[in-house]
Structures are given as C-alpha cells and as structure tokens.
Amino acid sequence: MIQNKTLHILNGTEMYKRFEDTGFLKTEEMIPFNEAMCYGESCEDIFSEKFIEMRARVHHVTRDQYADITLKPLQPLFEENVDHIALWFDEDMFCQMNVLTILAWLDQIEYKGSIDLHLVDDQYRSVNKYSLEAKGYAALYEQVMIHHEMPESVELKPLYRGIELYLNHLKKDSELMLYIHKHRDVPAEKLVSLMIENFREYGLGDTQYFRMIKDSRQGK
C-alpha cells in the first residue's frame, strides 16, 4: 500500500530554521518559500522562464541566484508526487501574497491533492487552519497581481485582507505613505524600525521599507 505523502511549505528560511531548531514537524518534509510576492512585478505563468527573469530583476539578483535561493528549495514540490500540502504562513500581507502565488500555481498545474493552510502568530504557533482545494486561485492571482484589481469576494478572510492591503499600500494616500511623509525628517534607518514595529499587519521588512522611503523622498 502506497503511503500518502505530505509536504510542508513554510514562509521563508527563518521559519524553516525555527521549525528545525525546535524539532517541530521533525519527521516531516519541510521546504521554505523564499519570495516576497507583494513586492515588484510578476507574470501569469508562475515559475516559468519569464517569471524567473522578472522576479530575479525585482530582487536585483541573477537568474542563477534566484534559482538557487527560491527554486532549489522548492524541488520536492516540483518533482515529487505529493498527496497533501500543508502551508505555514502568517496572516500579514507579505505572507498572504505568497500564499496566493503558491495556491495559484497549484491551480495552474491542476493539483488534485488536499491542502491545509495553517496561519501562525509571530512565534510561529498555529492559530488557525483552513482546508482548501486548488480551484479559482489562478484567476484570483491574475486579477490581483497582474491587473491590480480588487475582487468582489475571497473565501479566505486573511487572504482578502492581505489583498486589500497589497492593492492599497503603495498609493499616495495609504497609511504607509502618509506615515513616511509625516516623518520625512526622520533618518531612514530609524523610520524603517518604526514602520516594522507599527505596521505589523503588512509583514514588510527593512528591504521593502527602505525602497518605499527612498522612492517617496525622491518623489517617485
């Protein structure tokens, strides 16, 4: 009898290290998704050559570097027969855009297995769980991440909120941009720390905030 195979996809290397260090899921296969899909442009065909080229440009790395950082850890997802996928992500915007991308790719390849989405807190403890099917997410991804349109409804509430924040966060009147403008005399490094602390719902890191501050102060 063939055993069902589960693959756990984690939001990035930090979570992967924490799970390894604590022995959580120690008998299971875990892989990190090292991306920041809420940042920069993308294309419809996820993990295609065009996608790799675009995302490498977004992150200012070569195609080979992108493959090493992002695609290499995902090889079990690409190559193995997996019956069940468990996603471990935070509720914030950063994580939810990564979740949308993975679900959209699973939809694109017509993945038929079961999917569980575990939402975790800042200590990586599971606080909620959803059981999903890979249906409708490719169209949702295209609507949100390619055409930048707000969908009328999204079944997953955390994903809906993530999309809402994603589509608004770079607008001139968003709370992030207004905060940057209000603190235009604060040194960038200090302002980055303040924003990470005060806007946890976005889940953005120093790289994204530095770019936003730089662009705002240069009038872009």
Q: What is the pLDDT of residue 1?
A: 35
Closest CA to 199 of 173, 171, 182, 177: 177
pTM: 0.93
Per-run averaged pLDDT (10 residues), the chain, 220 residues: 78 92 89 96 96 96 97 95 95 97 98 96 87 96 97 94 96 95 95 96 93 86
Q: In what order do the strands lie in the sheet with 84-90?
A: 29-32, 6-10, 84-90, 114-120, 126-132
Q: What is the pLDDT of residue 220?
A: 62
Beta strand 114-120 with 126-132 is antiparallel
Q: How far apart, in Å, are the Cα atoms of 109 and each of 52, 153, 190, 218? A: 17, 23, 44, 42
3-state helix/strand/coil string of 176-200: HHHHHHHCCCCCHHHHHHHHHHHCC
d(C-alpha 145, C-alpha 117), whole Å = 20
